[in-house]
Structure 1
Amino acid sequence: MSGKPKLTYFNGRGCMESIRWLLAAAGVEFEEEFLETREQYQKLIKGGALLFDQVPLVEIDGMKIVQTRAILCYIAAKYNFYGKDLRERALIYMYVEGTADLMGMIITFAFTPPKERNLALIIERATTRYFPVYEKVLKQHGQEFLVGNRFSWADVQLLEAILMVEEKEPTVLSKFLVLQAFKARISNIPTIKKFLQPGSQRKPPPDDQYVATVIEVFKKD
């Protein structure tokens, strides 16, 4: 195996996409193995690679790490995206959890029966519960980044969340001028700019094929 981190997940966003974003922000190249069959998944379980029988799985620094937050925390700490002290880490994690809640609504959207999908609720939560918080934080301290005036995991994940919501509603930031500037600024950081270009390992929004593959792999015997 090469020295590059290896990511095992589906060929789609899901819980792995924030991990891809964070590695890309750090300028770290990584390899991917895509789950396409239930047999692949069962082989990983039987081989002991999945501690809780769940993906995502990231192999890095001689470890096999599962659980999305554990993986993200490790990458954030390893590449100095996790603040300089406990206070900053608490703030970063708090902001990350907020964007994770918002993105979770979008991640599950494609797996929700069409008649039960509530896009209006996602937009309402984004514009009344989540985006106002980040707009206020940035406006109050007047700095370029959310925490410590330094590029962090929180900034990476906020941009990811903004772009995900904009895919559902392109005008969602119309009333958030500070977040508009934040989006432009973070998008132009060289490693992020590269990740946003066509041909990167960033994944597109889920389509019917992706949903069908996930359901097939996870179906019970």
Structure 2
Amino acid sequence: MVMYTLQYFHVRGRAQPIRILLEDQDLNWEEKVVSPETWHQGDLKKTCVFGQLPALIKSDFIIFQSNTILRYLAREHDLYGKDKQEAALIDMVNDGVEDLRSKYVKLIYQTYDEEKEQYIKNLPNDLQHFECHLSKNNAGKGFIVGDKISFADYSFLDVLLNHLVLAPSCLQDFPLLKAYVERLSARPKIKSFLECDAHKSRPINWNHKQ
């Protein structure tokens, strides 16, 4: 049986969509937690291609960059759509999710105190695009693209869950997105993961702002 090792810090951060994918797909994996002390020593950082984690290790194969890891696992486990057109749409959605994640990360680590209120006020402008796109796929009753789950769903779910902590009422005007989060969060393996102590003990972000 294939064993994956996910190497990251004791934080949800960039590794969280990967964890959700691994759990939901019932894959054989373990996490190797990197302490701040180990990271700041610098030896491990020098082995990372771009000086960053997470890393995914399978035997003697190792890759870095969170979205690269998601795409690799998607190719390995049929989570990339039924054809090239669906794959392109999945990439498109994931790029949109990454844009929203980047805005969120900038807020959390750079402008939280002075811009949180305005960020939440502007958030519907971003969410409406996803609501519209979701509505065009099975009337918004399934996944973000196609008729089966893809790696973009895991990434999108993570971003939405983070925003529901930041702004608990942010989906009140987006019934399809609200139902989407509830539906994916209720998948047995995801539900079990979100309720486990290991998940709950991890802060969302390094600086504990959320």
TM-score where L is the length of structure 2: 0.85
Give the 3-state SS of the residue equivalent to 2:181 in structure 1: helix
Whole-angstrom distance in 2 between the partners of 1:200 and 1:207: 16
Give the 3-state SS of the residue equivalent to 2:154 in structure 1: helix
Task: Indicate the residue corresponding to 1:34 in structure 2.
Answer: 34
Deviation at 1:207, TM superposition (A): 5.7
Whole-angstrom distance in 1 between the partners of 2:57 and 2:176: 37
Deviation at 1:38, TM superposition (A): 5.1
Superposed, 1:3-18 pairs within 5 Å as 4-18=3-17
Superposed, 1:19-168 pairs within 5 Å as 19-28=18-27, 29-37=29-37, 42-46=42-46, 49-112=47-110, 115=113, 117-129=114-126, 131-141=127-137, 142=139, 143-168=141-166
The 8 Å contact of residues 6 and 33 in structure 1, kept in 2 or not, is answered as: no
Task: Indicate the residue corresponding to 2:179 in structure 1.
Answer: 181
Deviation at 1:61, TM superposition (A): 4.6
Letter in 2 for 1:118: E
Whole-angstrom distance in 2 between the partners of 1:102 and 1:5: 28
Deviation at 1:43, TM superposition (A): 1.7
Whole-angstrom distance in 1 between the partners of 2:128 and 2:44: 42
RMSD across aligned positions (CA)? 2.5
Whole-angstrom distance in 1 between the partners of 2:121 and 2:115: 10
Q: Relative to 1, partners in 2 of residues 1:126 and 1:4: Cα closer, same or farther, differing over 3 Å? A: farther
Letter in 2 for 1:174: Q
Q: Relative to 1, partners in 2 of residues 1:76 and 1:178: Cα closer, same or farther, differing over 3 Å? A: same
Whole-angstrom distance in 2 between the partners of 1:170 and 1:110: 16
The 8 Å contact of residues 55 and 65 in structure 2, kept in 1 or not, is answered as: yes
Superposed, 1:177-216 pairs within 5 Å as 177-201=175-199, 203-206=202-205, 208=207
Letter in 1 for 2:148: R
Whole-angstrom distance in 1 between the partners of 2:107 and 2:148: 33
Deviation at 1:168, TM superposition (A): 0.8
The 8 Å contact of residues 103 and 164 in structure 1, kept in 2 or not, is answered as: no
Question: Which piece of structure 1 moves more, 119-128 or 76-85?
Answer: 119-128
Letter in 2 for 1:36: P
Deviation at 1:3, TM superposition (A): 5.1
How many residue pairs are counted as aligned between the two chains? 205
Whole-angstrom distance in 2 between the partners of 1:158 and 1:84: 19
Q: Deviations over 1:110-132 (max 9, x none)?
A: 322655x4123432443112x21
Give the 3-state SS of the residue equivalent to 1:172 in structure 2: coil
Give the 3-state SS of the residue equivalent to 1:148 in structure 2: coil
The 8 Å contact of residues 194 and 200 in structure 1, kept in 2 or not, is answered as: no
Identical positions, percent: 28
- Structure 1 residues without counterparts, runs of 5 or longer: 212-221
Give the 3-state SS of the residue equivalent to 1:146 in structure 2: coil
